[in-house]
Amino acid sequence: MTFKEHLYKIERMKRLIRLQATGSPKEFAAKLNVSESTLFRLLRELKDLGYNIEFSSYRSSYHYRN
């Protein structure tokens, strides 16, 4: 993945999380066209940058915890 692709995926992730439209981890990875392990690595990057992200089993989506 090039740096430009990486930034695009991060921005797309942030948008989907904000809209609470990620679905399950498997669905979220498919929306980004990445593996689940890559998805978890990207989520860890966002969390390390200070984003408070959690998964809601009720909504079946990731969301910002604020």
Q: Which domains does the chain have, with CATH numbers?
A: 3-64 (1.10.10.10)
Specify the residue for token string 């604020």.
66
Please give the Cα distance from 26 to 63 (Å, whole number): 16
Structure confidence at residue 56 as a pLDDT band (50, 70, 90): very high
pLDDT of residue 10: 96
> What's the confidence (pLDDT) of residue 66?
77
Q: How far apart are CA 16 and CA 21, in angstroms?
A: 5
Query: Taking the CA of residue 17 as centre, how many other CA atoms within 13 Å lie in the half-sphere pointing to its CB?
Result: 23
Q: What is the mean pLDDT of residues 49-64?
A: 95
Give the model's pLDDT for residue 4. 95
User: For 8-55, what is each residue's pLDDT tens digit?
Assistant: 999 999 999 999 999 999 999 999 999 999 999 999 999 999 999 999
Q: Which of 2, 24, 1, 16 is nearest to 46 (CA)?
A: 16
The radius of gyration of the chain's CA atoms, rounded to the nearest angstrom, is 11
